[in-house]
Chain A
Amino acid sequence: MNQPARVLSPVPSPASARSAMERIAAQLGRAVQGKEAQAQLVVTCLVAGGHLLLEDVPGVGKTTLAEALARACGLSFARVQFTADLMPADILGAQVFHAQSATFQFRPGPLFRQLVLADELNRAPPRTQSALLEAMAQGQVSLDGATYPLPAPFTVVATQNPVDFSGTYPLPDSQLDRFMMRMSLGHPAPEVESRLLATRGGVPPLDAVESVSGPEEVASLRALAAELKLDGAVADYVVQLATATRQHGDIERGASTRAVLALGAAARAQALWESRDFVTPGDVRALLVPCWAHRVLLRSAVQGVSARDEAAHLLEEISRKVPAPR
């Protein structure tokens, strides 16, 4: 488990918040090159207090990215490989009998870390998925009548393979809704791959990542983001977008209220990238697809990549049609 290398002072202003977020994103860029936009999204999601769903084929750096985030932010980190036989106790922890004191003592599972990577989440049985998702929603674990708070800040980065669904338990919509953002990394550009090959020569990418922040700073960033002004017109705009998804002919189920709140929180964090202490419609539009594409259910029964692309396409169409406040 990584410990923060140094404790930084709380973030006082949007300008210094931007600086801190850029520092973190730069470290992510060292681990996963050529993915600046995705790195920025990951940091936004972290600052907004949301959980991230990485959906991509194996080998593009999902795990690296999550681990790099933990290291850059100085967060305690655990990686759990979700498999078909993974039980809830494997991630939550268990009551263990202590022979000397003749009592049961709680032994925390890997979930009791500040950043948990749930690798291939869809391979675990629903019980285990539910245990994780409950912890994501509540920020605590309930076991044998006792409640154990999770460490703050607590963030889950889950991955799933979008093409190989055999023997998996696809996440239900209600559980997908718990993730603030869903994103794909995609293969790096050929020149980036060439550079990787030429420069690293097998050196683990995480070694290049330095700890440039700490849990206190992340908590401060989250507190600052939560306080940013979201004008009534922008709030109306978010609601109008949600209404448009609910009324769209090609969408079976539109954005939920949780989705509306998530988009608002994410937009607040997004505003910090511009050193702003208020949210603009542009912040909302920028995060519409990452925040909502996995939450809307299309009428067509298409699964996988094409469904996600179609959802993104519909959301972009909606953002063009719904007039933004001026």
Chain B
Amino acid sequence: MRSSLRMVLRDLGAGAAFASMGVSGQLPVWTLVLYGLALVCALFGRRLFGQREKLTALLLLVVAAVLGMNVLAGSLNLVVAACAFAGLISAHRLLSHPGPATDGQVHLSGLLMVAGGAALTGELVYGLCLVAFSVLSSMSLALGVVEEAVPEGEPVPVREVMSPLAKGLAFAVAGAVAFFILFPRLNWNMMGLRASPGLGAATAGFSNTVRLGGTGNIKGNPRIVLRATLDPDPEKEELEAYWVGRTYDIFDGQEWTSIGGARGSGDWMVTLRPGSEGLVHQRVELLPAYGARTLVALETPSRLGNAAVHSQTGSRRARIQELGGGEVRFLDPGIAFSYEAYSLPPGGSGDSFQKLPSEEQDALLNLPQKLDPRVAQTAARVLNGEREPLAAARKLAAWLQRDFTYTLELGGDVEDPLADFLFERKAGHCEHFATALTLMLRTQGIRARLATGFFGGERVNDSYVVRAGDAHAWTHVLVPGRGFVTVDATPPAHRASQAAQILEDLLSFYESLEERWRSAVVDYSFRDQLDVARALVRPPRGQDDDGAPSRLPPLRAWASAFVAGAVAYFVWRRMSRFLERERPHDATRFVDAVEAQLASARLERREGEALEELDARLARERHPLSPALSPITRRYLEARFGGRPLRKGEAAELLGTLKRAIAADARRAAEEARVPRARAS
């Protein structure tokens, strides 16, 4: 029972260590699957490799060869391959026959895995996995020590163990935190190919292309992808604003794309359209959950710049590049980005249409080759002769909002998703509404395009946050003299995130933790550490009596050195005392258990009375427990001082005898207490 609990803790600890690598999202999927299976088997006590450990170890060679080939082929990073291999070694150990050596190997491979995890990611989730590993493995180790100390057959003295165990766990957690804070500084993550930050796959609803008919549930994801401060501050709790990322002008019946390639080779600042008075200034931070490199700004972005890319080794200034569809993208990868943006006031102003290349102007009227003729007929019927672009767009949007249902439950790819939406299902999400509006306008000769980004903004302190679930698509209608004006065909109630409030609150809490973590730990780079260290030892600016600047470190440096030295000395003392501690004799642990049982029987002991003295006294007093205790005492003395150690299971057997004798004595005493005494009459 005790042993199985220790094994479960050990296996869960190893699982947490593997998860610390898995959360990076960089391990090959098959390693995740293999490890998961191994862990489940181990937790159910199925040690599949227990009988043929050496033979099954050959599998690791095969896996190593596969990983090596992947590395040589360039499809796998060396660090990732090493981490995956460490995980598989751990999996093999999990499935092997349990024993002291295997236990040590599982814990050691766990340490290797958390080190690997540090190389792959420094996110908060990794920190949580690391702490989980530290706690679970420490508990497993501590339980092992307790089991060693407590004789076979004896229950673990939980109360006595709790206090030192709690101290040990606190030490383990502190060690894990220290490890986490110090380890990512080694810059190993630079070697890894970062596929996506944080929880693995990108969580934002924003994507490079828009494809209708796909399945998905982006509305329910409340992770914060964007944080922005606005000037002037609208001072609203809920911001009903469109944050545009990019626009699309070509629809092939299934997917939206943009024409036009990269403009320029990358600059520090990109001007999209002429500015004017009353621009809205934004300081935007794209958080790791965003998972893309496209800059997002309030409609209608006029200028983007002062960009910085944040990696785990620090932050640096970044160049940005304008692409087709008005998209502006970071050239360098990073876990998060920040920049400034200027936007024109909502509603559109200034007509930049004339500046567009002719092919882009034509694309705004482009229709797919196989467009269902009912689309144009329906548009004409709804518009009923309305030709003014904005009025027509609003009329169609109102019709769509009235007659169509918003849903995220889609049936999968269909041949003509637009016809399916308009004439069959009559239900879809924002991309369906926006696509339908855009194409219906185009069938009537009105120029329009699809815009994607986010809608909304929730005030948190002095800034606004936008969540992954706020990802949105809408229509830009080209209005002569005003330029592109936003018209949203999606029913208003379904534009913002649809996540449950409690989930949002929980995620908000997590996001705030992660934000603090990133700013206080992850972004606190090796350079920052060096800066602090330099500041610590920098001589004071004051001058001494000779007028020359002092070359000695300041008092705080001496104090810090003293504190560090004292802590190191204290730790060394404790550690050396612990390591030099003599392991108690088996017979000593046995006599401890005997005395614990005697104490539980409330047998009164004299001060400093040894077991043999107690035994002799009980024999003199003809105590009922004496017949049971004497052979135990004799056997203890033989085992401890006579060179005849206890046989396997003998301690449990003797203790069982004593336990039964104590129970019988207690029953006898209880029966005697129940017998009524004769009353003198």
Chain A interface residues (CB < 8 Å from chain B): 229, 231, 233-234, 276-282, 320, 324-326
Contacts and interface: CB of A to CB of B under 8 A. Distances in A.
A283 B588 CA distance: 18
B638 interface: yes
Given A231-B642, A277-B642, A278-B641, 6 more contacts: A231-B640, A233-B641, A278-B643, A320-B608, A324-B610, A326-B640
B591 A280 contact: no
B231 interface: no
B537 interface: no
Given A282-B610, A320-B607, A229 B643 contact: yes
B643 A280 contact: no
B641 A280 contact: yes
Nearest to B636: A326
A281 B612 CA distance: 9
Contact of A326 (B591, B613, B638, B643): B591
Contacts of A280: 612, 637, 641
Contacts of A281: 610, 641
Most buried by B among A233, A234, A277, A326: A326
A251 B612 CA distance: 30
Contacts of B607: 320
Contacts of B610: 281-282, 324
A277 B592 CA distance: 24
Interface residues of B, number: 15
A278 B608 contact: no
B643 A276 contact: no
A278 B591 contact: no
Nearest to B641: A231
A280 B637 CA distance: 7
A244 to B, nearest CB: 14
A234 B641 CA distance: 8
B300 to A, nearest CB: 84
Nearest to B592: A326
Contacts, number: 37
B588 to A, nearest CB: 5
Contacts of A276: 637, 642
Interface string B616-642: 000000000000000000000110111
A234 B585 CA distance: 14
A317 B145 CA distance: 36
3 tightest A-B contacts by CB? A278-B642, A231-B641, A282-B612
Given A320-B607, A326-B588, A282 B613 contact: yes
A218 B637 CA distance: 27
Contacts of A231: 640-643
Given A280-B637, A324-B610, A229 B591 contact: no
7 contacts: A229-B643, A231-B640, A231-B643, A233-B641, A234-B641, A277-B642, A279-B641
Contacts of B608: 320
Contacts of A229: 641-643
B520 to A, nearest CB: 50
Interface in B636-657: 637-638, 640-643
Nearest to A234: B641
Most buried by A among B585, B592, B641, B642: B641
Contacts of A282: 610, 612-613
A278 B640 CA distance: 10
Contacts of A233: 640-641
Contacts of B588: 326
A193 to B, nearest CB: 25
A45 to B, nearest CB: 21
B271 to A, nearest CB: 85
Nearest to B591: A326
A280 B615 CA distance: 14
A281 B642 CA distance: 12
Contacts of B641: 229, 231, 233-234, 278-281, 325
B594 to A, nearest CB: 11
B634 to A, nearest CB: 8
A271 B462 CA distance: 85
A173 to B, nearest CB: 30
A281 B637 CA distance: 10
A320 B591 CA distance: 19
A325 B612 CA distance: 12
A281 B609 CA distance: 12
A161 B610 CA distance: 36
Contacts of A326: 585, 588, 591-592, 640
A259 to B, nearest CB: 21
A264 to B, nearest CB: 13
Interface in B265-293: none
A324 to B, nearest CB: 6
A225 to B, nearest CB: 15
A229 B641 CA distance: 8
B620 to A, nearest CB: 14
A279 B588 CA distance: 16
B276 to A, nearest CB: 90
Nearest to A326: B588
Contacts of B613: 282
Interface in B583-603: 585, 588, 591-592
B638 A278 contact: yes
B642 to A, nearest CB: 4
A270 B168 CA distance: 46
A325 B641 CA distance: 9
Contacts of A278: 637-638, 641-643
Contacts of B585: 326
B576 to A, nearest CB: 21
A79 to B, nearest CB: 37
A321 to B, nearest CB: 9
Nearest to A228: B642
Nearest to A232: B641
A282 B637 CA distance: 10
A164 to B, nearest CB: 38
B200 to A, nearest CB: 55
Nearest to B615: A282
A233 B643 CA distance: 12
A214 B607 CA distance: 42
A279 B637 CA distance: 9
A233 B610 CA distance: 15
A17 B414 CA distance: 102
Interface string B555-599: 000000000000000000000000000000100100110000000
A277 B642 CA distance: 7
A29 to B, nearest CB: 19
A280 B608 CA distance: 15
Nearest to B643: A229
A39 to B, nearest CB: 18
Most buried by B among A231, A280, A320, A325: A280
Contacts of B642: 229, 231, 276-278
Contacts of B592: 326
A273 to B, nearest CB: 11
A229 B643 CA distance: 8
Contacts of A234: 641
A320 B610 CA distance: 11
A180 to B, nearest CB: 22
Contacts of B640: 231, 233, 325-326
A320 B613 CA distance: 13
